[in-house]
């Protein structure tokens, strides 16, 4: 029996023992191997019908009555409570709405204000130097607004730079390029030991692995819902505010939706109680309720089971890549150790098409283009990274074996000489 056949047979056995295999039917899928759920999750089957109802009946027939009768007004906190168990939070601490970028800004400025309560002189924001660009942009703006110095460092360097001037620390739970999982419990503890406020970006971990916001005492957290939570393109993000600090959280965007008496139309602002302080303007109801329908795929699903399958999928992918891809063609950037790995695998594919000295095109972009043409969808990050995201709710082990096989064939074909 060839090794190729052995790995295909192993994939069949793993799929046969997969306790989450039945969840796949809750999505609209085809014969494409979809490994880009770390950018945009697949469509849950319940969403089209729900959106049709929202548009035709709730908006088309009930119209403005739907703010009360269809529950539009309470959607942000209701959906927040639906997200809460997926990130290890009790109800009443998450509000859905706005974009990740807006929520990062709210959280960071709010964190600095929290750190300065009681007259403390704290004038530095520490930010992950490898962060997704929007987090860095927002951190820079928040620093200007609050009169802070911005200090970009790698997550590993964070404990060594914390001090009595540190106000807030913004970190990514999983690195978007490499899939590296950072030490949320340990880094949060270090931030608290320095008297600062911990803010975490969960975009690449929520819905893929346990987070433990309450367990680890995270102060503030933000995240998107269109990746592993499958909420749809541009679906609302969310803001977590730990219960113990909610009464002191001072949002820099005090919109009418976060007012204690929003329909009082008072000229003076009085913040609502609880996580509702994180609301700003009128909720985006169409995308909000599409997200609510999408979250139904999590009914009866354990995030711990998702993590077990995620690690098994990524382990198997690395095994298949090692067997199918010619030696030296790719380098794995994602940590092998389970405690340091998210739910994606990043492979560096660094040779160039054409002369490197003449500014040749990195081969990775062409490789991904050809994978997509053959029904394996991942994505490419400049200059030379192939990213493959593994959503355990709908990705199977046969998908993984096929993807690695197509990658190997692509790099052994007419690109073999590069």
* C-alpha closest to that of 287 among 125, 75, 120, 130: 75
Q: What is the pLDDT of residues 367-395, one digit of tens each?
A: 999 999 999 999 999 999 999 999 999 99
Candidate list 36, 201, 379, 384, residue with the active-site label: 201
Would you state the pLDDT for residue 2? 53
Q: What is the pLDDT of residues 211-228, one digit of tens each?
A: 999 999 999 999 999 999
CATH 3.90.1150.10 fits 3-30+302-412, yes or no: yes
Residue 106 appears among annotated catalytic residues: no
Would you state the pLDDT for residue 1? 38
Same fold, 3-30+302-412 and 49-298: no
Which pLDDT band holds residue 352 (cuts at 50, 70, 90)?
A: low
Strands, E, within 97-165: which ranges?
124-128, 149-153
Would you state the pLDDT for residue 358? 43
Candidate list 27, 132, 388, 397, residue with the active-site label: 132
Residue 26 appears among annotated catalytic residues: no
Would you state the pLDDT for residue 356? 42
Using the CB atoms, write b or e for 67-102: b if 16+ within 10 Å: beebebbebbbebbbbbbebbbbeebbbbbbbbbbb
Residue 226 appears among annotated catalytic residues: yes
Candidate list 226, 240, 316, 397, residue with the active-site label: 226
Helix axes 3-16, 397-412, angle to 10 degrees: 160
Domain ranges in the chain are: 3-30+302-412, 49-298
Contact 45, 357 (CB under 8 A): no
Residue 418 appears among annotated catalytic residues: no
Is the bond preceding 383 in cis, omega lying within 30 degrees of 0?
yes
* Residues 6+ positions from 376 with CB-CB distance below 8 Å: 32, 33, 35, 402, 403, 406, 407
Task: Find the radius of gyration of the CA atoms of the chain.
Answer: 23
Q: 191: burial class by Cβ within 10 Å (0-12, 13-18, 19+)?
A: buried
**CATH number of the domain at 49-298, please?**
3.40.640.10
- Name which of 16-25, 150-159, 321-330, 344-353 the model is least confident about: 344-353
Residue 309 appears among annotated catalytic residues: no
Q: 382: burial class by Cβ within 10 Å (0-12, 13-18, 19+)?
A: exposed
Candidate list 50, 113, 227, 242, residue with the active-site label: 227
* C-alpha closest to that of 73 among 55, 89, 95: 95
pTM for the full predicted model: 0.96
Which pLDDT band holds residue 286 (cuts at 50, 70, 90)?
A: very high
- Name which of 36-40, 187-191, 294-298, 349-353 the model is least confident about: 349-353
More confident residue, 414 or 56: 56
Would you state the pLDDT for residue 120? 87
């Amino acid at each position: 029996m060839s090794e190729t056949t052995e790995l295909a047979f192993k994939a069949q056995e793993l799929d046969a023992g997969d306790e989450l295999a039945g969840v796949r039917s809750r999505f609209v899928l085809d014969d494409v191997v979809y490994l880009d759920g770390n950018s945009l999750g697949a469509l849950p089957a319940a969403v089209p019908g729900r959106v049709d109802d929202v548009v035709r009946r709730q908006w088309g027939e009930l119209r403005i009555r739907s703010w009360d009768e269809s529950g539009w007004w309470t959607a942000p906190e209701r959906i927040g409570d639906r997200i809460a168990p997926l990130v290890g939070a009790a109800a009443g601490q998450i509000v859905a709405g706005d974009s990740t970028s807006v929520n990062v800004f709210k959280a960071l400025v709010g964190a600095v204000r929290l750190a300065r309560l009681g007259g403390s002189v704290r004038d530095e924001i520490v930010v992950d130097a490898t962060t997704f660009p929007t987090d860095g942009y927002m951190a820079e703006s928040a620093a200007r607004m609050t009169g802070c110095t911005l200090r970009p460092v790698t997550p590993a360097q964070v404990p060594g730079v914390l001090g009595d001037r540190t106000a807030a620390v913004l970190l990514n739970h999983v690195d978007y390029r490499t899939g590296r999982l950072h030490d949320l419990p340990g880094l949060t503890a270090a931030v608290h030991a320095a008297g600062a406020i911990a803010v975490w970006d969960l975009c690449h971990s929520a819905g893929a692995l346990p987070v433990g916001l309450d367990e680890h005492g995270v102060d503030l957290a933000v995240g998107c819902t269109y990746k592993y939570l499958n909420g749809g393109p541009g679906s609302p993000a969310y803001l977590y505010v730990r219960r113990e600090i909610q009464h002191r959280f001072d949002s820099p965007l005090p919109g009418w939706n976060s007012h204690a008496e929003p329909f009082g139309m008072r000229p003076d602002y009085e913040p609502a109680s609880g996580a509702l302080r994180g609301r700003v303007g009128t909720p985006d109801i169409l995308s909000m309720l599409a997200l609510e329908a999408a979250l139904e795929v999590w009914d009866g699903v354990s995030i711990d089971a998702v993590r077990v399958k995620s690690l098994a999928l990524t382990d198997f992918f690395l095994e298949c890549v090692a067997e199918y891809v010619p030696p030296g063609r790719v380098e794995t950037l994602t940590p092998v150790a389970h405690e340091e790995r998210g739910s994606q695998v990043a492979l560096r594919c660094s040779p160039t098409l054409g002369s490197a000295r003449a500014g040749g095109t990195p081969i990775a972009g062409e490789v991904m283009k050809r994978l997509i043409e053959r029904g394996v969808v991942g994505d490419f990050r400049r200059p030379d990274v192939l990213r493959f995201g593994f959503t355990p709710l709908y990705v199977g082990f046969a998908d993984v074996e096929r993807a690695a096989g197509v990658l190997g064939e692509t790099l052994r074909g007419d690109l073999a000489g590069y």
